[in-house]
A and B are shown apart, each in its own frame.
Chain A
Amino acid sequence: MINVEKLFEKAKDKGFVDVQIFKTGTRDLSIEVFDGELEKYEIADTSSLTIKAIKDGKMVTFVTEVMDDEDIDMIVDAMLKNVSVITSVDEAEIYAGDEKYEELTGMYNPEMENLDIADKIDLVKKLDSFMHKEDSRVKIVECEYAESTKSVLLQNTKGLKLTDHLNSAYFGASAIVNDGKDQRTGFDLVISNDMADFKPEELSNAIVTDAIKALGSKPVPSAKYPIVFDRNAIAVLFSAFQRIFSADNVQKSMSLLKGKLNTKIGSDKVNIVDDPFLKKSNLSRSFDDEGVATKYKMLVEAGVLKTYLHNLVTAKKDKIQPTGNGFGGSVAPTNFMLLPGQATKDELIASLSNGLYITDVQGAHAGANPVSGDFSLQAMGFVVKDGKVAEPVALITVASNFIDFLNDIEEVGNDVRTSFYGITCPSVKVGPLSVSGL
């Protein structure tokens, strides 16, 4: 580890007023099984140091993986050169700290890290074996377990020193199924730091059942269809658009939510929160990367936009308190959640009468525009006839605008879950949307 006091001292000698370090230490383990054999086994031990320093009111950042005191002069010199060209009028700040930080419990589960590696490999092999036994049409299976243990240290020249320790793992599989006429894929995973949540049989059954059901998928005619989006599809869509809630994007005119504060942006059914204290989530935090205490907040309440997400700089610009969302050098949510309603997914589908049940959408990184809100995404799922799930559908696109989409939400399900996109949400029923297919 680099000598922090020495780094602070050298930086101050060169004219930096305040300095902060944010150190992350990570241990990773990942296991992949392919066709019954351990195919990939990966271990890693890395650390990274993010240094922020302020001179003449301007903030500069240097990130290094080399924790060597010999690099201190090079780092301070590079920061000095870089800070000289910054002309930002943002009021940069190194944070002195909040009075109170939430105590997060259960963020680090030693049982998971202490469990023998052989037992983890067995767990993945078990999943692989269940998947193969599930159905003769299962042709190729890949199963994975990946675990990460992270420790975080924040320390600055204003006397703030905070630490956090957490671990998390995911357990999942993908399958290719083929009935001689058509080939489809299935995929799912579970995120937790409690080994008891990793249930190979249940997971295997869900993945294979879904993939088999999709065999024989065909496009439907182009038209407007009322749709139930499965929670997985909602997670993909929300992950593409969550950045529109960033005050940084709003202030830079890079978000379609600019000027929409306290206005209706969705139907009454839409309630969106940022919850930094969600249990078993690897996105939960008691403080953000700037040292600000995190807090639970409603972003959208009954369709009305209540707040943007802020870090220190964006909050100052809007003359409000920071929301504890200063992550990764910008603004980001912790656990972004669409709050559940009362209906089960089956009730949502039944209430649809005739339409589509979309299980997955793809292409959100390119087909969803956070500035205009327009999206056009490849989708797959099923036709819904008389309130019942019928034949499978693929190679269609669903297009709308994110704000129109929020306004079109008629009902929100109760089947909430955290997806690997970091979005926690239930399935949703939406009014007619443009679908293009045949």
Chain B
Amino acid sequence: MSEIINKIKAKVSAEKAYYLLAIPLAVVFYFLTLWATPYYVQYKIAKNRVSETNVVRFAEKPSEKNRVVPLPNPDFLYSTIGYDLENKVLKITGSVPNATYWSISGYQANTTNYFVANDKQLDSKFEYYLAKEGSTSAALKDVPKEKIIYSPTTRGLVLFRYLISKAYPLEKLTQLQHDVKVETL
């Protein structure tokens, strides 16, 4: 290997070598920036919106004053849980409306969606256990598989969507929204 390097050194000046190395370096940092951007976005949102992890935050109906997460849907009520599953399992429970769209979704640390369940798939109450992929926690021992959500990353976000509709106007939906409980196991 040192022979090869010495041969290259003999043929190529130091300047040329630096310029040649600059190209793959720029390419690496191009892809590194793309890869890191979603993690940075998640971090910024968590810093702005979530004062504590593993607690549910109930948002009000979106308006022009909401300027943290882009493209909010003004027809929805949102709730979020910024989670950290280091040595923890979260038990998440609540109510599901019976005549309007509702969903619970999971987003990993780079903001990509890895889980969703909606009102059509569940009964009037839901109970989920959120754990890190590969978790061997005793808390999951007797939990049915369909109730366990495995997060690919230790940190992430659970997002609830409640559609404000004629069947479920804002006041009625807000009561349902506040039914969500989070317990750390």
A binds B: no
Binding site for B on A (CB under 8 A): none
Binding site for A on B (CB under 8 A): none
